[in-house]
Each structure stands twice: as C-alpha cells, then as structure tokens.
Structure 1
Amino acid sequence: MKRTLLATALGVALIVSGCGTGAGGTTGTDVGEEDGWKTIKTISGREIIAELKQTVKESPEREKLAAEQVDSEDYKGGLFGDPSPELAEDMAVQAIEGPIALEALGKVYGENGFSEEGVIFFENQRNGAEQSGIWFGVKNPDERLNELLAELQPKVDVGEILAAPIYIFRSAHTEKELNDIQDEVAVALKGMHAKRGSYSLSVDVKSGEIELNHDFLKAEQQKELEEKFPDYTFHFEQDGRLVAEPGDSSIIHPENTFTDIPVNDGGFILSVEAGRIFVAGGNESAIYYSFEEAEKLKVGQRVKVEASGMIMESYPGQGTAKYVEILPDYKPVGAELSESQAFVKAMEKFTAESSGEMDFMVVKEVSFDEKEVKWIFTLDEDRKVEIEDK
C-alpha cells in the first residue's frame, strides 16, 4: 500500500492552556485578551498566542536528521511526490518536530487530555501551505501552556528541534466539540435518507466547517440542516445522481430491448437473488450489489451500475447499487440467440467444465461468428467459451 505523509488533521485534539511567561518561550501577554493570552502576530489567518524562541544559530543534530530524510528512498523515489525543498522540509518537520512536540503534549496534558481543549494538525507545503509545521490550536489557554513551552524550549536551545515549525494559536473550537457536532449531524441525517442513499460526513479540524458528501439530500433538506445547526457552515457535495424517490424504480430500461450493433459498455449479471445481484465482466468490476429491485433483473443482462457509497475492497467487492441501467441486448441479424441468452448457456458450460480454480465467469469480450454461427466469449487469460447459436 502506498504510504503518505501524515494527514493534515490528526485524530487527537489538544488540551493546551496557560498564561504568564514560559521557559524562554514567548507568550502573548502584551496585548489584551480576558484570559491573559494576547495575539502576538497572525500567520495563515490564525492568531498566534505563544511561541518558542530560536536561541541558537545552528542546529547540527536537527540538520543531520533532516539530511537523512533527503537521503531516504521514500524521498528520492518520489513516494510522497517529486523531490523538492518543500517536500524535504515537510518530511523533516513530521520526522523531527512532530514526534517531539506530540510527546511533550502527552507529558503535560496526558494521552487522552487533548480533545476538550483544542485541536492539533500538520500543514505541508507540498499541499499548498505557506510553511511546514505542526499546529496546536487552543480554545481556552491556561497555565499548562507554559509547561508545554518549558518542555520544548530546551530542545530548541540544544539544537534538537527548530522553533519555527511549532505554532500555537487560538482555536475557535476543540476536537471534542467537532466530534459532538458531527455526531449530532449524523443523527439528523438518519431521519432524512429513508433507507436509500449514502453519505460521508466530516468536520474540518482547522475551520470547523462541516463537509457533507451525499446522494439523497434535497435542497429543502440541506436548508433544514443549516437552520438546525446555525453556528456551523455546511459544504454540501452531491455524489452522482440523487437516489430515486420512494415508489420510483431504480432500474433504467433501454429505449429498444434489442440492437444489432455490438454493445461494449457495462458488465453482465451473473446471479440474482433476493435483494442482491452479482455483476462482473466487461468494463464493470466483480461486485455483489445490494439492490431492492434485484428480482426484476435477469442473469445474462448487460448492465451499467451506479453505486451508492463505498465499495468494500474484497474480491468480489461488495456495495449498494443506486441505479442499474439495462443496456440493449445485442442480437445480430439472422441470429437465433441474443447475447444475454448465449451468455446464460456459456455460464452453464463454464460451470460444467470449471476445475474449481475460478468460481465465476469473467467475460472480457463477446463476438458473434457469422460463418461458424456461434458466440465466442473471451474470458480472463484469453480463455474462450464457444456457444452454438441455437
């Protein structure tokens, strides 16, 4: 599996607090906030309320570790993207400042103490950030923030880490608040999809905005969510077509049942059972689909499936069909059988001759030999199943 740099948002929130001065670090006590932590400056639109001091000009230990990142096969081989100074610094921050800063947080606040106080995330230049860094967002800072500075500043002083990539800012929210609102929105959504459709829901740890990808929400339902959660901004993204209305069919029939022109789209239905179809071959992956109208379909039909939600990465895969489009059944001029009828016969022959190495027939290509008057189904590894047209 391809590795990636650490995700922009970490699955932890931050319990950081503090006021006063701290172990050589700079605290924002000069300008005025009620809690005593003032804004020192603004970076990337965020109010910095405390920072470490870069007390040494050279950091040989840090430079050595950073050089090891550039010499790594991950960097040279382009595992995270084309080699560049920006990528080199992203990797260095995540390998050096990141682990040390997280360890210090755990020491000061405890492993599970972050979520009620703030958020924490990385930003990478390779993803468009102005700087590589690890960001600690604190909603209600208190004296513990000085303890964090006291843990980290000595490591800057001896050249183990740099001060610049560690950012401490005032956050408008905590991770617990984001998790709670995500759960509340999920509950509201359950009453809206009427057992049809799917969604993915997340809350941006930086902005607190709600990202909602769906295939069932109407405009009035989106407005209802926005009115129910007025303190949050929603970003709705529709995934393909909306699911069919209750009572409407999710099967799309062709204008003409038959065609004398070969059809190359879609895949074949290999099995039909209550609430489920199995589709494989052609240009469709081998997938078992849950589908309420499964029993209205037939084995051998060539179909195109629009899925709702994720497909499980097993083999065959597993998912839910939102729409099943039946394609015209190819029947050459003068042929006795149509493609779907010949396919059923080919499946029967394949099953009878199968050695057990393959459990199902995956058709790559179908052709009709007019001279021999037979159907030819080409499978994986160019194996062929031939069926007389009768």
Structure 2
Amino acid sequence: MKNKLIVLFASALLLGGCGTGPSSKNGAVDDSDSGWKSLKTVSGREIIAELKQTVEETPKRDERATIETPPEFEEPTKETVEDLNVKAIEGPAVFQAVEKVYGEGGIHHEGVIFFELQTKGAAQSGVWIGLKEPDERVQQLIDLLQPKVDAGEILAEPIYIFRSPHTEKELYELQDEVAEALKGLESERGSFGLYVDVITGNIEITHDFLKPEQQEKLREQFADHTINIEQDGRMVPEPGESTIIAPEQTYTDKPVTEGGFILEAGDGRIFVAGGTESVVFYKFPEADKLKAGQRVNVERSGPILESYPGQGTAKFVEVLPDYKPAGAKLSESQAVAKALEVAGERLSNGYVVIEEVSFDENEKKWVFKLLPDDGEGTLEVADQ
C-alpha cells in the first residue's frame, strides 16, 4: 500500500509589533553562531522572526477578503471567515516567498510549512514557516513579505516563522522506515494506514492486525518518536476463525434496507453491489460458502482501488436475514438470483446494480429498482 505524508492543519495568531523597514532585522540574531534567537513562544513553538504590522488600514487586503461565510458553510462564523482569508490571502503570499527564497520544493529539505485553522480546533488562524537550521534566508523571506504588509496587501499577525525540530524530508524518510517495519509485521489479510504529522512529528498508525506485543516492538524500534496506534474496525480473524457472520434468524417478514447484494461468489472472491454497498469485487477466502442473491454487509480490510467496479479485500461478510413476505413463494435472495439471470441476458455489462427491492403482493411479483446506468429503470420477477 502506498502511504503518503499527510499535512494536518491547526491554528494560531501572532501579534505584530511596531513598524520597521523591510531591510531591517525583524528577528533577534545571535552573532556568535549566526543562529536566530528565540523572540517568544507561540503555541509551544520558538518564534525566531516576525513581521511588523506597520499600517492600520489595509484597503488592498480588504478588497480580496471574504466578508461573510460562503453559502456552502452551514453556520456562518467569524472563525470560518478568518480561516478562509488567511488561506486565500496570506497563504499564497507566504508560499510564493518561500518558493522564491528556497526554490521549488526547497522547504521540503529545510523545514516545514503549514496552515493552522480555527475551524480545525486551533486558537487562531495562521500560516507557519518552520526552519530546522535558520540562516540568512530568513531575512530574505522577511524582505519579501514586509513590503506587502507595509502596502496593506497582507497582515503580519497570521504569519509565523519558527524553529522546527524536523524537516519534511526527514518525516518522509521516517514514514518510509515505519512502513517497512509494519510490512514485516503485516499478516496476510491485515492492512494499515500510516502518516507522520508534519506539525508534531508524531507517527500515526491505523491497523486491523497488530497485536499488543507487536505494537510494543514498534514503540521500542522508534523510541525517539511518539507513536499513536489506533485499531481500524475488527481485528483480522485468527487462523480457523470464520469470516462469515451468520444472521440470528434465517428469514424475516420485514423488508431489509441495509447491505448490498452478492452478484457473484466463488473462486476466492465475491462481487457485491447495490443497496447501501458500493460496486466492488472483493477477495474473500470463504467465497464458496456464499450465494448470489444474498444481502450482506461487507467489512473491508485496506483500501478499495478506484476502478469500476472497485477492487478490495473483505475482512468479514455479515449475511443479513432473508426477507420473505407472508404469502410469497420466493425469498428476496431467491428473487434476486432470478433477476440476475434475467439481467445477464439483457444488460451489456453483464450485471445489475439494485437500489431497492419490493414485493407486489397483489400481482405476486418482485420489483427491482435499478441504477440508471444499467439501462433499465426497473426489473420484475414473477414470484414462482
């Protein structure tokens, strides 16, 4: 599984000081070692340089600013508006300056860059530039951004320059190391999700196979880092444990609305579609114990490939009670199996995706509402 570094967002706000010209030092430099001293701490981070809010009026920024929350947001809030403005105004200015000073992708080797947003739980909106070994290029950044502040194009307050304990490159390398360690522990049917938080450097793992002793082994192997491990769904079954969950009752006279329908079953895979399930081929070792027409809930293991139909691995398959109305000769699963035979003769793709199933007691027939892509609005099967 290809794992990608995911940048998480949070937020904070840096209060600007008195005005200075763009060529002056907006941070404290330690001349003894050419390093940048700490000015203060914000959100637990060591601020090494800051812009100055030199003007009170910002007409150029105001022209671009969102005044009200866009209609796609259900609850208009001041915090949402501030987040949107920082992302749309200060964000691009900072990213352009960083690229100009460090080159395209250069910040990847020097540190990190990220937003923190109030709508993601942070205290205030901000865009953060973190540098592991800050040098004279910090002043170059300031010299590019301060004139924009002076001209009223951007605000100084939401822009932070701090000393980062890591670079993005280091985090990518750490993620690759953890991924290799996880692959060595992975069971045949297990899966994991992995990312390293750019802001904290913490390793975040989701899984459905790691036993407590394996988790402890990981923490020992990466003792210099915080590892957060979360179980994703049920654990994969132990050898000999059935992966089919049978219903408490075989039949029910009440319509079942959850789950999807098995269209094919056998040779180590099942094809499930319709109802509340997506259209997916699943690898499933116990496929031969299932039948086309059954309504099931599928608990997957790992990602679903974005093809059509999708492709994935089923960890557990829950067979749902078979709907059999009073007076009907067929059960729902039997009617679906017949519908699949008819569909195979009439549809170019060879399968049908059923949205809904109903039983017409007066005319003694089963009516299937199909997805529009299947070329037919409905399909009917006589109850016999």
TM range (shorter): 0.7 to 0.9
Contact 2:117 2:126 (C-alpha < 8 Å) held by counterparts: yes
Going from structure 1 to structure 2, the CA distance change for 1:245 and 1:375 (only over 3 Å counts) comes to: farther
Contact 1:347 1:361 (C-alpha < 8 Å) held by counterparts: no
Contact 1:24 1:53 (C-alpha < 8 Å) held by counterparts: no
List per-residue Cα deviations over 1:123-149 (Å, max 9, x = no partner).
Answer: 122223222211011111112212222
Query: Does residue 203 of structure 2 align to residue 210 of structure 1?
Result: yes
Going from structure 1 to structure 2, the CA distance change for 1:57 and 1:329 (only over 3 Å counts) comes to: closer
TM-score, normalisation: structure 2: 0.84
Cα drift, residue 315 of structure 1: 4.6
Q: SS state of the match for residue 195, structure 1?
A: coil
Supply the distance in 2 between the matched residues of 1:335 and 1:78 (Cα, whole angstroms): 50
Aligned residue type for 2:382: I
Q: SS state of the match for residue 184, structure 1?
A: helix
Contact 1:120 1:137 (C-alpha < 8 Å) held by counterparts: yes
Contact 2:116 2:122 (C-alpha < 8 Å) held by counterparts: yes
Q: SS state of the match for residue 153, structure 1?
A: helix
Query: Does residue 310 of structure 2 align to residue 317 of structure 1?
Result: yes
Matching residue of 1:186: 179
Aligned residue type for 1:63: D
Contact 1:304 1:324 (C-alpha < 8 Å) held by counterparts: yes
Aligned residue type for 1:252: I
Q: How many residues align?
A: 362
List per-residue Cα deviations over 1:138-163 (Å, max 9, x = no partner).
Answer: 11111221222222222222222222
Contact 1:8 1:124 (C-alpha < 8 Å) held by counterparts: no
Matching residue of 2:220: 227
- 1:239 paired residue among 215, 218, 232: 232
Unaligned runs of 5+ in 2: 1-6, 11-20, 372-376
List per-residue Cα deviations over 1:161-201 (Å, max 9, x = no partner).
Answer: 22211101111111111111111111111112222122211
Aligned residue type for 1:24: S
Supply the distance in 2 between the matched residues of 1:386 and 1:137 (Cα, whole angstroms): 65
TM-score, normalisation: structure 1: 0.82
Unaligned runs of 5+ in 1: 1-6, 11-20
Contact 2:187 2:209 (C-alpha < 8 Å) held by counterparts: no
- 1:151 paired residue among 136, 144, 166: 144
Supply the distance in 2 between the matched residues of 1:329 and 1:92 (Cα, whole angstroms): 54
Matching residue of 1:47: 46
Going from structure 1 to structure 2, the CA distance change for 1:330 and 1:163 (only over 3 Å counts) comes to: closer
Contact 1:24 1:153 (C-alpha < 8 Å) held by counterparts: no
Cα drift, residue 331 of structure 1: 5.2
Q: SS state of the match for residue 212, structure 1?
A: strand
Which segment drifts farther, 101-110 or 270-279?
270-279
Aligned residue type for 2:121: G
- 1:90 paired residue among 55, 80, 83: 83
Contact 1:277 1:289 (C-alpha < 8 Å) held by counterparts: yes
Supply the distance in 2 between the matched residues of 1:91 and 1:148 (Cα, whole angstroms): 23
Going from structure 1 to structure 2, the CA distance change for 1:25 and 1:292 (only over 3 Å counts) comes to: farther
Supply the distance in 2 between the matched residues of 1:380 and 1:210 (Cα, whole angstroms): 44
Aligned residue type for 1:300: G
Give the superposed CA RMSD. Answer: 2.9
Percent identity at matched positions? Answer: 54
Q: SS state of the match for residue 156, structure 1?
A: helix
Aligned residue type for 2:56: K
Supply the distance in 2 between the matched residues of 1:128 and 1:210 (Cα, whole angstroms): 20
Query: Superposition pairs for residues 332-343 of structure 1, below 5 Å?
Result: 337-343=330-336
Contact 2:268 2:285 (C-alpha < 8 Å) held by counterparts: yes
Cα drift, residue 359 of structure 1: 3.8
Supply the distance in 1 between the matched residues of 2:251 and 2:84 (Cα, whole angstroms): 57
Matching residue of 2:374: none
Going from structure 1 to structure 2, the CA distance change for 1:378 and 1:235 (only over 3 Å counts) comes to: same
Contact 2:253 2:326 (C-alpha < 8 Å) held by counterparts: no
Going from structure 1 to structure 2, the CA distance change for 1:332 and 1:62 (only over 3 Å counts) comes to: closer
Going from structure 1 to structure 2, the CA distance change for 1:337 and 1:207 (only over 3 Å counts) comes to: same
Cα drift, residue 207 of structure 1: 0.6
Matching residue of 1:344: 337
